[in-house]
Amino acid sequence: MTTIACKGFKATGLHSGLKENRDKDLGLIYSETPATVAGVFTQNKIKAAPVLLDQERIAGGMARAVIVNSGNANCCNGNQGYRHALETTAAVAQLLGVPEKEVLVSSTGVIGQKLPIDKITAAAPDLVKTLKTDGFLDFAQAIMTTDTVPKIQHLQGQENGRPYHLVGIAKGSGMIAPNMATMLCYICSDVSMPQSLLQKLLSTTVDATLNRICIDGDTSTNDTTLLLSNGCSGVTLDRMDQAAGFQNLLEQLLGSLAKQLVKDGEGTTKSVEIIVAGASSDLDARTIADTVARSPLVKTALFGMDANWGRIIAAAGRAGVPVDPDHIDIYFNQVQMTRNSMGCGENAESQASQVLREPEFSITIDLNMGPGRASVLTCDFSVEYVKINADYRS
């Protein structure tokens, strides 16, 4: 296995005392040279302090570092929360010798509890001291909350014979829904690219990957995706027509992280792709896919390995977009379960029960109306999900 690295970047993660156990809870990414930065943030009207600060700062176009804590969302803490976000960035900016306004910050954890800022400032020197080129895994571990595994992906591209790198790290296993900019996700790249192009590529790609997953239908107040690109590979991509290869890699990277997020969804035992075809439009298809992906009855049936297509068709019917109620075909992988909205019988049921035992499969809903198509990645809804979320703060 090759080392996970991206030219000119260092990263780290450590335990500062925000989490009650000994797990890492503070992470830092640092670019040795100024990096162009793009960001996508939560669409929740309630935004955490670090989201508000980052939104202001990425308008400047450049970033040198990102500091992230887990265990506390620093959300709904009023002016004090905002000051604590500022102090967090100030602590590392000084030690790194970079402008404060080029340091970004994220927080993830419980909403409405005061951020223990002293623990963060106290840990800052160790954080900076432990930065290393292969520190991304430590960083990935430091930003986990209810995640059971770190989510990290590393890809290498080539442009005119020159290699360049993309490293992506994400976290999140609850409060995850479409209409978001995912939970927390950080991408480092060593190409050189103007900010407008970087932002455009990031927004487009997030919409096609991270915004197409659903764990529980709740959208976080802290969702943040940041892409830092520092040019250290010597590869320069200035225009859209030069960036096709990069965009493709970015889509692979975020697609992989999206899958990792769903696979590690709270209490999840299955990853299921909901594909809607034959809709009047892509937008209609997406509305239906989202509704099916979020239905508690569909998700509990998936957990129970029950080929209960009736719940799927019922969810499609309540999505609020036109469907022809008598011409819906449903498939579990390749197994056809309904033809013209009627069940295909016991043979199909028994074949489907095989599919449902697999950890990953697809459900296709063909509306037979038009060319519209969309897919969403979802997971099942387990007893464990309820237990995790009933006990989260206690």
Cβ–Cβ contacts within 10 Å for residue 60, how many? 12
Closer to a copy of itself by Cβ: residue 128 or 367: 367
Closer to a copy of itself by Cβ: residue 229 or 382: 382
Cα–Cα distance measured from residue 42 to residue 108, given in angstroms and rounded to the nearest whole number: 13
- Torsion sign (Cα): 347, 350, 356, 357: negative
Cβ 281 vs Cβ 370: under 8 Å: yes
Provide, rounded to whole angstroms, the least separation between the CB of residue 213 and a copy of itself: 15
Cβ–Cβ contacts within 10 Å for residue 390, how many? 9
Place of tokens 């969302």: 73
Which of helix, strand or coil describes residue 372?
strand
364 annotated active-site: no
Name the strand (E) or helix (H) holding 271: strand 271-279
Closer to a copy of itself by Cβ: residue 160 or 394: 394
Cα–Cα distance measured from residue 251 to residue 155, given in angstroms and rounded to the nearest whole number: 11
Name the strand (E) or helix (H) holding 310: helix 309-317
Cβ 68 vs Cβ 105: under 8 Å: yes
Annotated catalytic residue: which of 12, 145, 182, 378? Answer: 182
DSSP state of 72: B
The whole-angstrom distance between residue 116's C-alpha and the CA centroid of its chain comes to 26
Closer to a copy of itself by Cβ: residue 142 or 323: 323
Q: Which residues contact 326 (CB under 8 A, 6 or more apart)?
A: 340, 341
Binding site for a copy of itself (CB under 8 A): 43-47, 73, 75-78, 110-113, 174-175, 177, 179, 216-221, 294-297, 300-301, 303-304, 306, 308-311, 313-319, 322-323, 325-326, 328, 338, 340-343, 381-383, 385-387, 389-394
Closer to a copy of itself by Cβ: residue 163 or 296: 296
Provide, rounded to whole angstroms, the least separation between the CB of residue 348 and a copy of itself: 11
Catalytic residue ranges: 182
